Amino acid sequence: MGRKLSSFKGSTFSEKYQLQENIIGEGSFGTVISAKCRASQESRAIKAIRRIEKVNMLSIELELLSELGGHSNIVKLHDFFHFNGSVALVLEYFPHCSAAELIYHSKKDLSFALFYFRNLLSAVAYLHQNGYVHRDIKLSNFLFSSKTKRFRLVDFGLATVDRSHNECSRNHAVSTMEKDAECASCRNTASPCMFCRGKPKRENYHIVGTPGVRAPELLFGVGLCNPSIDIFSCGIVLLSLVCTKHPFFMPKDESENIMNLAFLLGSESIENMARKEGMRVTISEKLPPADYYHLLMSMRFGFEHVRRHCSPRLACQSCENRSFNNSYGVCFCRSNYDTGMFSTGNNENELLTIYVDLLYRTLEPDRIKRYNADQLLCIVESFESRINFKPKPLSNQDDI
């Protein structure tokens, strides 16, 4: 900690700000430290970056915050310092709940997840409308103040400019794949044969984001600068809140991350998605896609509750094997990803129905079909308008 702060001493920074030397949090490329503005005595958050490894990414973060900060739930940038190889971003200080407290709020109030998600979508939509992609959406990067009921999107260290229009077309990727005949030896197996291992590999790419909230295409090096990757991460955030489980997935490597997604989307859905992107992918374990209504009910209220009160289903060995504490084999799978997508049994809870709808739109395996932030906001706003609608009292007299 002392090494990070030593660069700031004896500079114009120390003339304007007094560091309090307690760490607020750790970002993608720096440490966030509390401070006070000497002139106004207002609290500030200092994002301290000791070594600048990627100047281009820092310039994007500064450009983004200078242009959009302070609007639509995006954290405000007050000042910027660069000296002795170190950088300090002076941001607004925003007291907030921890991820565990967010889960507690959602557990106590089912509607909290929709309140949180709506505000998250507002920030993400504003980012995307202005040509930026966050690339690290997660609970700890969208802050909530229980005192003011306000939100802030933070940590733009991985943010980039939307370059989806420059992507190689899917048709080109698929035609390239088809020119390279599929190997008969390793077809439909989880690992390539010795001959295929010796072939030139796909171009190198850097997987961005936090394990467990990444979109499936990211794991295959596709759509690295496409806004749709933020939408998938938003879906995992919503899933985590409604199921009151954080983190929802905690993979130790990319292979486990892919298997986690197969748990939700189904093995076949991921293989089909890869094929549309011009890749041949085979997942070793064949998993059916999850029915999000039964998954939400099981995770939030317990398997015993679902067994007793939800629509009866036959015991499922697959669901018993892939879930903890499901000795009854309560089934939360579907035979096909596209059929029965929104059928939720005899569900009378309209709020759970909208959560299921939003999850299918955000966690869509195919990034082209995935809804954007504006479309999702329309769904949320239309739901809120419907439940808040109060008809005028009937008059005893006919209108003239």
User: Using one digit for the tens of pLDDT, what is the confidence trace for 205-229?
Assistant: 567 889 999 999 999 888 889 999 9
| 3-state secondary structure string across 103-133 | HHHHHHCCCHHHHHHHHHHHHHHHHHHCCEE
The answer to the question of whether 16 is labelled as a binding residue is no
What confidence tens digit (pLDDT) does each residue in 17-71 have? Answer: 888 877 887 765 678 889 999 999 999 999 988 666 666 778 899 999 999 999 9
**Percent residues over pLDDT 90 in the chain:** 48
Residue 180 has what pLDDT? Answer: 66
**Mean pLDDT, rounded, for 375-381:** 95
Tokens of 74: 């995006």
Residue 203 has pLDDT above 50, yes or no: no
Residue 83 has pLDDT above 90, yes or no: no
If you search the block for the tokens 């120390």, which residue do you land on? Answer: 14
Residue 130 has what pLDDT? Answer: 97
* CA 185 from centroid of its chain's CA atoms: 37
Residue 54 has what pLDDT? Answer: 63
* CA 171 from centroid of its chain's CA atoms: 28
**Domain 2-92 shares a fold with domain 95-168+176-290+334-387:** no
Bigger pLDDT: 341 or 4? 341
Residue 8 has what pLDDT? Answer: 56
Of the pLDDT bands very low, low, confident and very high (cuts 50, 70, 90), residue 323 is confident
What's the maximum distance between 2 C-alpha atoms anywhere in the chain?
Answer: 86
Residue 192 has pLDDT above 70, yes or no: no
Residue 377 has what pLDDT? Answer: 97
- Cis-peptide, bond into residue 391, ω within 30° of zero: no
Distance CA 108, CA 298 (A): 17
Q: How far apart are the first and last CA of the chain?
A: 76
Residue 64 has what pLDDT? Answer: 96
Residue 232 has pLDDT above 50, yes or no: yes
Of the pLDDT bands very low, low, confident and very high (cuts 50, 70, 90), residue 233 is very high
Residues whose CB falls within 8 Å of the CB of residue 351, separated by 6 or more in sequence, listed in order: 110, 111, 114
Annotation: CATH topology of 2-92: Phosphorylase Kinase; domain 1 (3.30.200)
Q: Detail the DSSP E strand segments found in the chain.
A: 17-26, 31-37, 43-49, 77-83, 86-92, 132-133, 142-145, 150-153, 160-161
Residue 133 has what pLDDT? Answer: 97
Domain ranges of the chain: 2-92, 95-168+176-290+334-387
What confidence tens digit (pLDDT) does each residue in 145-172 have? Answer: 999 999 999 999 899 999 888 777 666 6
Residue 363 has what pLDDT? Answer: 96
What confidence tens digit (pLDDT) does each residue in 326-339 have? Answer: 888 888 888 666 66
Annotation: CATH topology of 95-168+176-290+334-387: Transferase(Phosphotransferase); domain 1 (1.10.510)
Residue 289 has what pLDDT? Answer: 92
* Count of CB atoms situated within 10 Å of the CB of 269: 23
**Mean pLDDT, rounded, for 102-131:** 97
Residue 188 has what pLDDT? Answer: 57
pTM, two decimals, is 0.87
Listed range (62-71, 193-202, 254-263) with the worst mean pLDDT:
193-202
Residue 58 has what pLDDT? Answer: 84
**Mean pLDDT, rounded, for 361-368:** 95
Listed range (75-84, 210-219, 365-374) with the worst mean pLDDT:
75-84
Residue 3 has what pLDDT? Answer: 40
What are the C-alpha distances in Å from 277 to residues 174, 318, 324, 335? 6, 29, 34, 24
